């Protein structure tokens, strides 16, 4: 069965620290990849996505992610986090043609001011 793994369940960082959240998926075919964020009390919203082309994608609020096909990975990065980045982050995969999304278990990020 297809699955998405987020290895870091809880991450605590100080402001200005660099962030990298891991995401690996198990599917050998064509995929669309997403990172969503859920700020406290708010809707899930899209951070960034990979559909095709340049494997390094940039999203909102300074986030970026790199699709490495050989490693089945789509890690999320930010060079310098802010207190306002405190949220839960979800990686998601949609296998081409299915329109069915598989989400990871999420990573709770807490940024200390």
Query: Does residue 39 touch another protein according to CB under 8 A?
Result: no
Residue 106 engages another protein in binding (rule: CB under 8 A) = yes
Pairing of strands 10-14, 107-112: parallel
Q: Pick from 23, 94, 109, 111: which binds another protein (CB under 8 A)?
A: 94
Number of residues located near another protein, criterion CB under 8 A = 23
- Least spacing, CB of residue 16 vs another protein, in Å: 29
- Please state, in angstroms and rounded to a whole number, the distance separating the CA atoms of residues 77 and 38: 16
Residue 40 gets which letter from DSSP?
Answer: T
Tokens representing residue 54 in the block? 């340049």
Instruction: Answer yes or no whether residue 32 interacts with another protein by CB under 8 A.
Output: yes
To another protein, the closest distance from the beta carbon of 23 in angstroms equals 11
Q: Which of 16, 60 has the CB closer to another protein?
A: 60
Burial of residue 76, with CB atoms counted within 10 A of its CB: 0-12 exposed, 13-18 middle, 19 or more buried: buried
């Amino acid at each position: 069965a297809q699955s998405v793994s987020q290895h870091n369940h809880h991450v605590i960082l100080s402001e200005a620290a660099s962030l990298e959240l891991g995401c690996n998926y198990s599917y050998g075919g064509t995929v669309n990849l997403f990172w969503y964020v859920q700020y406290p009390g708010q809707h899930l919203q899209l951070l960034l996505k990979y559909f095709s082309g340049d494997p390094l994608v940039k999203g909102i609020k300074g986030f970026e992610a790199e699709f490495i096909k050989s490693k089945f990975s789509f890690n999320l990065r930010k060079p310098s986090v802010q207190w306002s980045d405190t949220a839960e982050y979800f990686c998601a995969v949609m296998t081409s043609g299915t329109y069915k999304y598989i989400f990871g278990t999420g990573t709770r990020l807490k940024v200390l001011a």
